[in-house]
């Protein structure tokens, strides 16, 4: 009897301890997994403790065959949490491998600038230019993201002085709650700027664009993860609130068309951009695309000359970019990777004599300072990231985005799951991650002998061609001279330039 009583007491003590641990996990604010899965969620952190032995099985590779930084997840989490992100024992990359790229450091490094540089966005027809951070939040909609995830990113943007792209799902109160700068994205569904028939409504657009937090207007032509397809938000995620923001029926799957209805030719697109800029009161206005055809990019350049105005910015989204849900065939086999797309647009604008008035953005698997510097060398003026910012607010890549069962409250509209994401905690993580990433980008530039991004050159980025040979981007790629396409197009570009039609998007 005594032994039985002792065992019962021990069991009761264990249950009490587990109950106390569960209560602690539920109430703490740092770990979203534990808030939704008290006690059981601790198994994840046990697995993280032995990550070095397991990580070789979980390496993602981008479209060029290079790993999505084998330590990218750890790097993002550590920076977001304010943990030192240095690693022992040197590189874990195969530096002798073909396609390995590296930045060229200088024997005379420069001091870092006192403050991070900003990028002035606004061409000659823009009356309200905006000074952009080198690194920002890429487009993610309320609906795809939970309210708390949107709030955390916006508060983080306000704390850190960078911009949050709203995604195509409309401008919600959550985007406006904390005062963070916004890039309002307009997609093919014209959510938040449409009439009852789903057509673009200039009056609705003007009212929304008038918000002081809206610093820029971005027209989405396509996204890297699924170029040529419209967005889809499953009906289970279309709550009353989301339906009101998007101006669609609640509970029904929300599908945006594959193509815009407000224009159908390059000239009409440029005219529409000019109209959006006027309706917004002169704010910087541009478009985002995943490049598919060089001819179509050149057709846009010809249209700019014909109309007599340009967008204030263009964001190039690489096909390696991610999304909550897309057909595998589109994710893996459609659209140009970011490197090729960015170089295409950079050269087209330079060759057409348009680059001085247009700023270039880059998005697609950007997670660290070296990614930022690499894209600046390839032609970008600023960068943005979606996946890394999701990780900064707690995403563990459970890949349940489309099911409304995200275990950490990032991509769900289920209020029981969403409450796991504590806005006050995660917003600071977003700010810390951004600050550290920009700081490391500037440190890299300083080590390269550069004190300002404008001093970066293609010679400063090299790629292995074999174990014995490497070449710089200046040698690997053709770089057009200003106005070269207008005067004497080089042989490699002549056919595409001749076939580019400002009155047709047809690709030759």
**CATH for 202:** 3.20.20.70
User: How confident is the prediction for the chain on average, in pLDDT?
Assistant: 87
Express as a percent the part of the chain with pLDDT over 90.
62
Radius of gyration for the alpha carbons in the chain, expressed in angstroms and rounded: 24
> How crowded is the C-beta side of 158, counted as CA atoms within 13 Å?
18
65: pLDDT confidence band, cut at 50, 70 and 90? very low
pLDDT per residue over 279-335, tens digit each? 999 999 999 999 999 999 999 999 999 999 999 999 999 877 666 666 667 666 677
Predicted pLDDT at 214: 98
3-state secondary structure 384-428: EECHHHHHHCCCCCCCCHHHCCCCCCCCCCCHHHHCCCCHHHHHH
Predicted pLDDT at 86: 63
CA–CA separation, 374 and 506 (whole Å): 32
Is residue 67 classed as helix, strand or coil in its secondary structure? strand
Looking at per-residue confidence, does 69 or 239 come out higher?
239
Range of the domain at 342: 119-499
Give the position of tokens 């005219």: 271
Instruction: Give the CA angle between residues 163, 387, 320 to the nearest 5°.
Output: 110
Give the H or E element holding residue 47.
Answer: helix 42-49
Look at residue 354 and tell me whether its pLDDT is greater than 60: yes
* Tokens read off for 479: 């770089």
Tell me, yes or no, whether 20 lies in a domain. Answer: no
pTM: 0.87
Tell me, yes or no, whether 48 lies in a domain. Answer: no
Tell me, yes or no, whether 96 lies in a domain. Answer: no
Weakest-pLDDT range from 30-39, 123-132, 179-188, 285-294? 30-39
Task: Provide the domain count of the chain.
Answer: 1
234 C-beta neighbours (distance < 10 Å), count: 18
pLDDT per residue over 335-349, tens digit each? 789 999 999 999 999
Distance of CA 423 to the CA centre of its chain: 20
Nearest to residue 49, comparing CAs of 70, 74, 66, 27?
Answer: 74
Predicted pLDDT at 467: 86
Give the position of tokens 């106005």: 483
CA–CA separation, 108 and 330 (whole Å): 45
Looking at per-residue confidence, does 137 or 88 come out higher?
137
Residue 489, C-beta contacts closer than 8 angstroms, at least 6 positions apart = 351, 497, 498
Tell me, yes or no, whether 114 lies in a domain. Answer: no
CA–CA separation, 289 and 318 (whole Å): 9
Tell me, yes or no, whether 78 lies in a domain. Answer: no
Long-range contacts of 327-330 (CB under 8 A, 24+ apart): 327/226, 327/229, 330/225, 330/226, 330/227, 330/228, 330/229
Tell me, yes or no, whether 445 lies in a domain. Answer: yes
Q: Which CA distances in Å does 38 have to 28, 34, 212, 399?
A: 10, 5, 41, 21
CA–CA separation, 364 and 221 (whole Å): 16
Q: Which CA distances in Å does 374 have to 33, 267, 318, 328, 456?
A: 34, 32, 14, 27, 10
Burial (CB < 10 A; 0-12, 13-18, 19+), residue 55, is middle
**What residues are paired with 464 via a beta bridge?**
470
Predicted pLDDT at 402: 77
Weakest-pLDDT range from 33-37, 62-66, 173-177? 62-66
Predicted pLDDT at 332: 66
Nearest to residue 221, comparing CAs of 125, 124, 341, 132?
Answer: 341
Tell me, yes or no, whether 492 lies in a domain. Answer: yes
CA–CA separation, 485 and 346 (whole Å): 13
**CA-CA-CA-CA torsion sign (366, 452, 485, 488):** negative
Helices 294-307/491-499 angle, 10° precision: 60
396: pLDDT confidence band, cut at 50, 70 and 90? confident
Look at residue 22 and tell me whether its pLDDT is greater than 90: no
Spatial contact of 375 and 138, defined as CB atoms under 8 Å apart: no
Give the position of tokens 């539920």: 26
Q: Which CA distances in Å does 355 have to 6, 153, 313, 341, 372?
A: 80, 31, 10, 15, 20
Tell me, yes or no, whether 371 lies in a domain. Answer: yes
pLDDT per residue over 105-160, tens digit each? 999 999 999 999 999 999 999 999 999 999 999 999 998 899 999 999 999 999 99
* Tokens read off for 401: 């985005």
């Amino acid at each position: 009897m005594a032994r039985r009583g002792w065992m019962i007491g021990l069991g009761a003590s264990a249950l009490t301890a587990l109950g106390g641990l569960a209560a602690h996990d539920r109430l703490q604010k740092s770990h979203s997994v534990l808030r939704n899965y008290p006690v059981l969620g601790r198994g994840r952190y046990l697995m993280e403790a032995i990550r070095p032995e397991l990580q070789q099985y979980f390496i993602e590779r981008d479209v060029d065959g290079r790993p999505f930084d084998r330590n990218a997840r750890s790097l993002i989490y550590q920076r977001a949490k304010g943990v030192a992100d240095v690693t022992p024992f040197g590189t874990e990359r195969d530096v002798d491998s073909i396609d390995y790229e590296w930045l060229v450091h200088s024997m005379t490094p420069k001091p870092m600038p006192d403050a991070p540089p900003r990028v002035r966005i606004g061409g000659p027809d823009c009356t309200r230019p905006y000074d952009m951070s080198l690194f920002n939040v890429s487009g993610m909609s309320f609906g795809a993201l939970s309210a708390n995830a949107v709030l955390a990113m916006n508060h983080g943007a306000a704390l850190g002085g960078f911009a949050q792209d709203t995604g195509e799902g409309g401008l919600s109160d959550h985007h406006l709650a904390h005062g963070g700068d916004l890039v309002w994205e307009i997609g093919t569904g014209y959510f938040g700027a449409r009439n009852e028939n789903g057509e673009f409504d200039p009056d609705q657009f003007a009212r929304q664009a008038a918000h002081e937090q809206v610093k820029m207007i971005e027209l989405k032509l396509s996204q890297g993860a699924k170029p040529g397809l419209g967005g889809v938000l499953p009906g289970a995620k279309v709550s009353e609130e989301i339906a009101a923001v998007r101006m669609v029926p609640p509970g029904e799957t929300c599908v945006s068309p594959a193509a815009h209805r407000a224009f159908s030719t390059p000239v009409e697109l440029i005219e529409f951009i000019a109209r959006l800029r006027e309706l917004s009161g002169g704010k910087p206005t541009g478009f985002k695309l995943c490049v598919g055809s060089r001819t179509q990019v050149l057709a846009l350049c010809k249209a700019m000359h014909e109309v007599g105005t340009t967008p204030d910015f263009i964001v190039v989204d690489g096909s390696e970019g991610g999304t909550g849900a897309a057909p595998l065939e589109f994710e893996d086999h459609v659209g140009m990777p970011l490197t090729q797309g960015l170089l295409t647009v950079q050269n087209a604008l330079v060759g057409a004599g348009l680059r001085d008035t247009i700023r270039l953005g880059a998005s697609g698997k950007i997670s660290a300072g070296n990614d930022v510097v690499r894209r600046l060398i390839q032609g970008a003026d600023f960068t943005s990231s979606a996946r890394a910012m999701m990780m900064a607010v707690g995403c563990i890549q459970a890949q349940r985005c489309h099911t409304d069962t995200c275990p950490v409250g990032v991509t769900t509209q289920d209020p029981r799951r969403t409450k796991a994401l504590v806005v006050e905690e995660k917003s600071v993580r977003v700010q810390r991650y951004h600050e550290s990433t920009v700081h490391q980008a500037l440190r890299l530039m300083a080590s390269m002998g550069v004190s300002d991004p404008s001093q970066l050159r293609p010679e400063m980025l090299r790629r292995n061609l074999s174990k014995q040979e490497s070449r710089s981007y200046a040698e690997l790629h053709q770089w057009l001279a200003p106005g070269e396409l207008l005067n004497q197009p080089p042989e490699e570009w002549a056919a595409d330039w001749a076939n580019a039609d400002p009155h047709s998007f047809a690709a030759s």
